[in-house]
Amino acid sequence: MTSSLNGKIALVTGASRGLGRAVALELALAGAFVICTARSVRGQSTQAQLPDTTIDDTLDALQAAGGQGQAVRCDHSDPSQVEALMLNIREKHGRLDILVNNAWGGHDVVRNPTQPSEVWDEPLEQLRGMLLGGAYSDYVTSLLALKHLMGHAHSGIILNTTWHTDEPPAWLPYEVSKAAKNRLVYALGHHLQQRDIPVIGVAPGWMRTELMLTHHTPEELACQTETPHYAARGIVALAADPQARRFSGKVMDVSELADLYGFTDLDGSQPQWFRAHQASRRGRS
């Protein structure tokens, strides 16, 4: 276990599975005490078809790897729950050094795995769910963390997981919701310039998460996909970088971070999924 983040207090939202779980594990391996939050707890999972994907399972894996942390159930779209969480962190730890906004409930209202043929056939609540589960959750969590733990101390870093907005645009509500997340990174970073608290977006490529593995064939997954640990290692590198402020307000692609910091995916590779994807889309347009 390395100790680049030894003694740091980190909060990872949406840590029950996928990228959130990988971030929690990688931060713990780097020496941080990791507070894992999500709606899914043992016996009450939001994805009951996926076994062992709760914050309790994440904490078990984290501790088995030699890390330290705790699991706290929290719906980050509910300000009262988030405020209670921040007050609890303040009481127990006195500070928060690293906030990773990764909670995402945006697919909860998807009616089927295929997109409608016409944009007007989209369920009208789809965008609402994505905004609440994405940008709004990030907004609530960031502001309450700043109010109770980070803002007055002029310290810490906020890292928001996100996605690149495609050119040409892809799924309408998804594109709009991710654009809102990305604009939040830019705007909040601007407003925190004088407080030395960087706000950075991290955009992974196509990740082999538990949920994605249930929706795609091995053939589809063979093309430039990556594990969630690839992006998680980029987040750890940013959290440990004393010069991370130079990226505040920006959305960084994981492959950019891999070039900069030299980390790899679990298999030693450095996938360039987004760059290849964009080149392919431009070639077809």
Assigned domain for 128 exists: yes
Closest CA to 5 of 190, 159, 195: 159
Q: How far apart are the first and last CA of the chain?
A: 46
Query: Is the Cβ–Cβ distance between 26 and 20 less than 8 Å?
Result: no
Q: What is the CATH number of the domain that holds 202?
A: 3.40.50.720
Mean per-residue pLDDT over the chain, rounded: 88
Closest CA to 151 of 108, 194, 118: 194
**Beta-strand relationship, 98-101 and 9-12:** parallel
* Cα 112 from Cα 257, distance rounded (Å): 34
Is the model's pLDDT at 1 over the cut of 50? no
Assigned domain for 250 exists: yes
Q: What is the pLDDT of residues 94-145, one digit of tens each?
A: 999 999 999 987 666 555 556 677 899 988 999 999 999 999 999 999 999 9
Q: What is the pLDDT of residues 6-46, one digit of tens each?
A: 999 999 999 998 899 999 999 999 999 999 999 978 766 66
Per-residue pLDDT, 276: 62
Q: How far is CA 44 from CA 48, 73, 228, 265, in A?
A: 8, 10, 23, 31
DSSP alpha helices (H): ranges in 38-150?
55-64, 79-93, 125-131, 137-145
Query: Is the Cβ–Cβ distance between 18 and 221 less than 8 Å?
Result: no
- Which residue reads 């840590």 in tokens? 15
The reported pTM is 0.91
Which residues, at least 6 apart from 199, have a Cβ–Cβ distance to it below 8 Å? 142, 157, 158, 159, 160, 185, 188, 189, 192, 248, 249
Per-residue pLDDT, 206: 77
* Cα 27 from Cα 255, distance rounded (Å): 19
Q: What is the pLDDT of residues 35-46, one digit of tens each?
A: 999 997 876 666
**Confidence grade of residue 149 (pLDDT, cut at 50, 70, 90):** very high
Query: Is the Cβ–Cβ distance between 103 and 14 less than 8 Å?
Result: yes
Is the model's pLDDT at 279 over the cut of 80? no
Assigned domain for 1 exists: no
Per-residue pLDDT, 107: 60
- Which residue pairs from 142-148 have beta carbons closer than 8 angstroms and sit at least 24 positions apart in sequence? 142/99, 142/101, 142/184, 142/188, 142/199, 144/79, 144/82, 144/83, 144/86, 145/11, 145/86, 145/96, 145/99, 146/192, 146/197, 147/86, 148/83, 148/86, 148/87, 148/89, 148/90
Categorise residue 191: left if φ over 0, alpha if ψ from -120 to 50, beta otherwise: alpha
Assigned domain for 147 exists: yes
If one counts the domains in the chain, the total is: 1
* Cα 181 from Cα 142, distance rounded (Å): 12
Is the model's pLDDT at 218 over the cut of 80? no
* Cα 267 from Cα 230, distance rounded (Å): 10
Is the model's pLDDT at 233 over the cut of 60? yes
- Which residue reads 């996605």 in tokens? 163
Assigned domain for 218 exists: yes
Q: What is the pLDDT of residues 49-107, one digit of tens each?
A: 565 689 999 999 999 999 999 999 999 999 999 999 999 999 999 999 999 999 987 66
Task: Read off the pLDDT of each residue in 221-250 and give the average, rounded to a whole number.
Answer: 92
* Cα 45 from Cα 35, distance rounded (Å): 18
Assigned domain for 2 exists: no
Assigned domain for 259 exists: yes
Per-residue pLDDT, 167: 82
Assigned domain for 101 exists: yes
**Confidence grade of residue 166 (pLDDT, cut at 50, 70, 90):** confident
Which residue range forms the structural domain that includes residue 70?
Answer: 9-284
Closest CA to 156 of 255, 82, 248: 248
